[in-house]
Structure 1
């Protein structure tokens, strides 16, 4: 379990190269500055930005099966978590950031350019308006309750798409609230950045109905 910023940074460093770590250092500093202009994350979390936000995002890579690559679609990326962190750590991985709020879209576009993330695409739209296409990974952090999220996003999913959904303390409860036919397709993994948080992981079988 990660308990401080030094451990969080070391956790991330073990999962990316030095260039990626430098990108994340720049991102963290830019986020601190921008947070004074718009409320991207809670001010209280800035002192633990590596633990609360960056390592919290990076740990999703540990739940990705070997050889399972992009495209990776992150829903409601907001300040950049987890999608922008994943894109910075894996420059060879195609990452799509879906965000509907204008100020957040502008922020993500600026970060993409500043960090030279050619692998990253910002989709400035409500999810309901994003054209149908299939992706290999779906992630979302604080986007919508799990039953609604599955209903909205499953059109982008195949039977092999991995869903990686940080859900905080509500993870177990949200899985329990899924329709009975979908419930066995998901399970909860413990978060390494918060002892009380969980990550919902799963795959939605094709032909499983709505």
Structure 2
């Protein structure tokens, strides 16, 4: 019985020490030399995939691509513009207040929020509607009002109608996988649609 209790205690202590080591950031002060983290980059690449918060992770990934490309024209790089766009993406998802109406052939989504959110919606929804409209299985219309933006997506095909309703406003805004290419174009200072 004592042996069993000893083993249980040792496992518990070992787990507690491991958990503490994983969460303790003692010594990781503001003046830490981040270059020393690169010394174990091979190990980190095998384990870590996300270098922090979502927008930071997206910027970090873009910086890595730009630095690896010998053709990068650093005089045109616009990471501030990309950061502002990522803030807009976050605001749309986090702060947009959506009222969806099911239509017989799709949905109408009216989206509103505070003044900053409405400004974001006006930048993003009409621009993304153009991308959505490149899919000829549905019809897309976006219109601005004083209080927000309406996105209407419809189809004559019952399976596409089911898809539209399943996606809803946020799924439709995430559709048309062009975001990574768009972000890289923005970072490079190239022309890209405004959302």
Larger Rg: 1 or 2?
Answer: 2
Q: Same fold (TM over 0.5)?
A: no
Please, what TM-score do these two structures have when normalized by structure 2? 0.25
Structure with the bigger percentage of helix: 2
